[in-house]
Chain A
């Protein structure tokens, strides 16, 4: 595999890039996910293949993958061999046109991949449905009579061997006829002679033979009339429809149950080729997609306007492919719902989501509702550290929607982002590294500084709780710098310093933001120096004996009392280093005595000298 970090610098060379519209972008992500699911191609591999031969990917690779994936969603498996053969074959052949690529894919491989699923569908309908729905329009008479024979035998079989059948099928209640799943069980499970007796085995074998006959008949029909056949008999056009349905795009285009096999094929081709120009179809797409947008009344987020496909159709090639893949961008998490991480960078978005999927079981197993937040952030941070794409930080969203099946109309979308200010802080490596730490705050409770910061929660309370453990020697954590960075950060972000005005003049805010990180670092340095001075000035026993008392004064926020106790300790020391005395004196005078607003952060910074580490 090509190393990601090297490759990220070539971002601009990606063939497929995000557009800035989140719905289309997530569609692209879904497109990558789809190809990964079916062909096991990663992001870079797919990009490479698009670059090499775009038409093969969009007119061959995509439709095959899409139909396979829809079939898989219905619970049918696609033999790996078919997929492998298809990829080998399509890249070997020469095609004259896009249409030829598509037709080759559909006629030879999509149909082949759909065989088992189609058979299951036809038989299950015949078994489980009643009267009118039992047989699809155009069902051959031979099949009807085969099914009739199967059902006649079934009645007799049940009458004779009811108890054994109940045992075999694990049925406790009364039953009159088999369901499709029962038939499947007969088909797939070997029957043990000893357990059920001679008569049952004999009848069961006969029943299996009849089922196989139905199966073989369907195989033969599909094989001779559908696979590689351009002219499917008109009377059986609906009978041979590929039975796919999609919860998100209900009854949309080729998912429409009334469409014939030919029409499905045509519609999918049109979709790929962006030939859908009919107003009502576009209207339906718009409606389907706009479920994700809050109503104007409720809309609190003004970044996204309703998407009208007609405006994009000529600008974005393969628009409908992405729209069709939209739902594949999301991953379902138990207790949370469908979720996707979105940023303005295609590779970062892909990577973060892939890593989130790897952490899925961990996310789902945690009771804490914040675990998804934490995991997302941890993943985002890991990814951008690796990719060095800091710009991603300024544009992050976690999009979530509730269950689709219950109500199609209402879907909940949540955005998660960070402010420019937070991004500015996190772009700095030192700050990010030091905030990316978990502090123990109770016997078995930890807090992630990064998370607290992103959530605009005060870091100082976490630090205070952590220091209590440190003083009581109830934690093994010994790190000092993350604490100092947090204190310095919070001291510089103190509300009085004017970072709370949301609509501040961007130019003046920019200047302020530019100065912010150097200021935080300067404060951290001062604190660190004061801490080291204290360590040098006072003996270990004095520091240990006085730490609890000083800490309790800080907690009571009594500035002068803190200064009083501290100064008494300092004057009783015999230190001869004049520079050290001067530093400490200036620090206490300027940062604590004179500082009415943020003295507590500096007091704690100095106090770090009293504890180990």
Chain B
């Protein structure tokens, strides 16, 4: 897969995390999110972008009309495809965004 190197700033990661948190506030139960995080953590660990995004998008798909989900999708669309180094940072920003729902 070819990708263009995009400059991703701290602000971008902050936004990814915030959008993810907002989007997931309305998706599934605590247990559902917990299971999803496990899954995402496992795919991030082996640096598997395809599996990571397919799990994530499947979850987002259930509320594709939500404005926060739309915002996140647009951001990811802009980022995609990612180098493996950038992917890790993006992946953990997403994971931590989902986890942050529990702190609200």
Which residues of A are at the interface with B, using a C-beta cutoff of 8 A?
560-561, 563-564, 567-568, 570-572, 578-579, 581-582, 585, 588-589, 593-594
From B52-60, B61-69, B72-80, B86-94, the one touching the partner chain is B86-94
Binary A-proximity of B84-104 (CB < 8 A = 1, otherwise 0) = 000011001101100110111
Report how far A563 CA is from B96 CA in the complex, Å.
Answer: 10
B103 touches A593 (CB 8 A): no
The listed residue (A560, A561, A572, A581) touching B103 by CB distance below 8 A is A581
Output the least CB separation between A588 and chain B (Å).
7
Q: How many A-B residue pairs have CB under 8 A?
A: 51
Q: Enumerate chain B residues within 8 angstroms of A581, measured Cβ to Cβ.
A: 99-100, 102-103
Residues of B within 8 A of A (CB): 10, 13, 17, 34, 37-38, 41, 44-45, 88-89, 92-93, 95-96, 99-100, 102-104
Given contacts A567-B37, A589-B17, A594-B10, contact A578 B104 (CB under 8 A): yes
The residues of B that contact A572 with a CB separation of less than 8 Å are 34
- Out of B37, B45, B100, which one reaches A561, CB within 8 Å? B45
Query: For the complex, what is the distance from the CA of A582 to the CA of B103, rounded to whole Å?
Result: 5
Contact B44 A585 (CB under 8 A): no
Given A560-B44, A564-B44, A594-B13, residue A585 in contact with residue B92 (CB < 8 A): no
A472 to B38, CA, bound (A): 30
Considering the chains assembled together, what is the distance between the CA atoms of A571 and B13 in angstroms? 21
Which partner residue on chain A sits nearest B92 by CB separation? Answer: A593
| 8 additional contacts (CB under 8 A) given A564-B41, A585-B96, A593-B93 | A564-B45, A567-B37, A568-B41, A571-B99, A578-B104, A582-B103, A588-B96, A593-B92
Considering the chains assembled together, what is the distance between the CA atoms of A593 and B99 in angstroms? 14
Q: Enumerate chain A residues within 8 angstroms of B37, measured Cβ to Cβ.
A: 567, 571
Neighbouring B residues of A579 by C-beta, 8 Å? 103
Q: Are the C-beta atoms of B92 and A582 separated by less than 8 Å?
A: no
Which residues does chain A contribute within 8 Å of B102, judged by CB atoms? 578, 581
Main secondary structure of the interface of B (DSSP, over half): helix
**Contact partner of B34 among A560, A571, A588, A594, CB < 8 A?**
A571
For the complex, give the distance between the alpha carbons of A593 and B41 in Å.
14
- A561: chain B residues at CB < 8 Å are 45
Tell me the minimal C-beta distance from A91 to chain B in angstroms: 76
Distance in angstroms between the alpha carbons of A411 and B4 in the assembled complex: 65
Shortest B83–chain A CB gap in Å is: 14
Checking A567, A578, A582, A594 against B95 with a beta-carbon cut-off of 8 angstroms, the contacting residue is A567
Tell whether, in the assembled complex, residue A589 and residue B93 are in contact, meaning their CB atoms are under 8 Å apart.
yes
- Residues of B close to A582: CB separation below 8 A: 100, 103-104
29 A–B contact pairs at CB < 8 A? A560-B44, A560-B45, A560-B92, A561-B45, A564-B41, A564-B44, A567-B37, A567-B41, A567-B92, A567-B95, A567-B99, A571-B38, A572-B34, A578-B102, A578-B103, A578-B104, A579-B103, A581-B99, A581-B100, A581-B102, A585-B100, A585-B103, A588-B96, A589-B17, A589-B92, A589-B96, A593-B92, A594-B13, A594-B89
